[in-house]
Copies of this chain bind each other. A is one copy, B any other.
Amino acid sequence: MMQLDDLDRSILRLLKKDARLTISEIAEKLNRPESTIHFRIKKLLEKGAIDHYTILLGEALQPKKVALVVLQAETPIIEDFLERYVNHIMRTLAMLSNVLFVAKSGKDTVMALIGGENEESLEAFIDENIKTLPTLKGVHVYFIDDIKKGEELIGFLVDV
């Protein structure tokens, strides 16, 4: 991983909270010359410490309830087909706009983060769109009831 000093970290933390801060505002907050801040941000971008500037969508656009779904694909008789099964499950999930995140674990497990209005509508969605996938062995649904760290990820992942 890239080495950062305290000034780099301070700049990154300020920009994470508000990426609209100007160079001169950051310079003032950190009590450093504008030229230093300008140079550091240039370097942070060049070295890939900052990927890009973005916006976090607010609560008005976020699903009210989120569930993590862990799916296990059936092991087919012809074992080479397992990868196809898993890829099909991932592609199908990724196409759905209220599916915020899709990832694979090991050879047969798929994880997805799914948003909805409430537990009932999420359950209905999972029953109709996920449990009906033909190559599934098991589905485990974890409704997320309270986020202690990283809560903002919902606003980051939501589609518009």
Contact = CB atoms under 8 A, between A and B. Distances in A.
Contact of A113 (B12, B13, B18, B150): B150
Contact of A2 (B61, B90, B93): B61
A54 B51 contact: no
A122 interface: no
B160 A13 contact: yes
A108 B1 CA distance: 35
A58 interface: yes
A78 interface: no
A150 B90 CA distance: 12
Given A13-B160, A111-B144, A153 B153 contact: yes
